[in-house]
Homo-oligomer: A and B are copies of this chain.
Amino acid sequence: MPSGGGLGTTGASASACIYGMNKLLNLGLNNNELIDFARYGEVASGGSPHADNVAAAMLGGFVLIKSYNPVDVLKLEMPKFTTVLAVIRKSQRTTRGFITYEIGQEKLKEQMARCSRVIHAIHTKDIVEFGNAISVDHIAEPVRGAAIPSYWEIKQKVLEAGAYGFTISGGGSSVIAICNDDNSQKIEQIMKTGFNENPNFIQTIVTHNSNKGIVEV
C-alpha cells in the first residue's frame, strides 16, 4: 500500500505503535487514551492531531468521535458490504488546509441530516441508505474531488452501475465505492478505466469492510 494514498495508512501505523507500546510497557491505557496518544502521529503526515483514522484503525467498524476534550469515541458495528477502492497517490501533502467549513444554511442543514442518516442506516443495517447518505458531502468532497481528475464523471458512472455509494477515502485522494459482490467487478472496471490516465493512480482493490480493529499476528 503506498503511503499518502488516503487510506489511513499513517493512522494505522500510529495506532499499531501506541497499541504495542501500551502492551510492552504495561501502561493499561483504555481505548480513548490509546486513540488520544495515537492521533499525535497524524501531525507528522497531515499536520493536525485528528483522530479519524487512528480511531478507525484501532477499533474497526464505524467510529464516531464524540469529543476531543477529552477524547471520547463511539464504535458501531457495521453490516458487511463490498467495497471497491481505487488507490491513488496524493499529488500534494494534504488538502486539509483548503477545506472551508463555511458552507451556508442549506448545505449545513443537509450535512447534519446526512450525518444523522448515516447513524440511522448503520443501526438499521441498511447499506443502500448508508451509501446514499455518504454520497453527498458539502465539506471535504468539493475540495478533494476537484483535485482528482475525472472524479465527478467516474462517480456518476459508478452510481449508475448500481453502487450504493461513492466518496473520497478520508484525506484522499483514493476513492471508495460501496456495492455488493454482484456488481463489484463491473464497478472495478469503471474505476480502473476512469482513473487509468491519472499518473498517480496505483491500482483497484475489491474487498470488504471489517469490524475488527488492531489484531496481533
Contact yes or no, A67 B116, CB < 8 A: no
A66 partner, pick from B102, B113, B119, B139, beta carbons under 8 A: B113
Give the complex CA separation of A76 and B116 in angstroms: 12
Q: Nearest CB to that of A112 among chain B residues?
A: B115
Stretch at the interface among A4-12, A103-111, A208-216: A103-111
**Interface: A190 (CB within 8 A):** no
Q: In whole Å, how far is A108's beta carbon from the nearest beta carbon of chain B? A: 5
Instruction: Flag whether A123 is at the interface (Cβ < 8 A).
Output: yes
A147 at the interface (CB under 8 A from B): no
A74 within 8 A of B: yes
Query: A143 contacts the other chain (Cβ, under 8 Å)?
Result: no
* Residues of chain B lying within 8 A (CB to CB) of residue A117: 64, 66, 74
Is A98 located at the chain interface by the 8 A CB criterion? no
Question: Which chain A residues (104-139) contact chain B, with CB distance < 8 Å?
Answer: 104-105, 108-113, 115-120, 123, 139
Q: Is the CB of B113 within 8 A of A116?
A: no
CB-CB contacts below 8 Å: A160-197 with B: none
A2 to B13 alpha-carbon distance, docked (Å): 60
Q: Is A17 an interface residue (CB 8 A)?
A: no
In angstroms, Cα B63 to Cα A117, docked, is 12
Cα A104 to Cα B118 with chains together (Å)? 22
5 smallest beta-carbon distances between A and B, as pairs: A123-B123, A119-B119, A101-B105, A112-B115, A102-B102
Q: In the complex, given contacts A74-B120, A102-B104, A108-B139, what are 4 additional A-B residue pairs having Cβ atoms less than 8 angstroms apart?
A: A64-B120, A101-B104, A116-B116, A119-B119
Pairs across A and B, CB under 8 Å, 17 listed? A64-B117, A65-B109, A66-B113, A67-B113, A74-B120, A76-B120, A101-B103, A101-B104, A101-B105, A101-B108, A102-B102, A108-B139, A112-B112, A112-B115, A115-B115, A116-B116, A116-B119
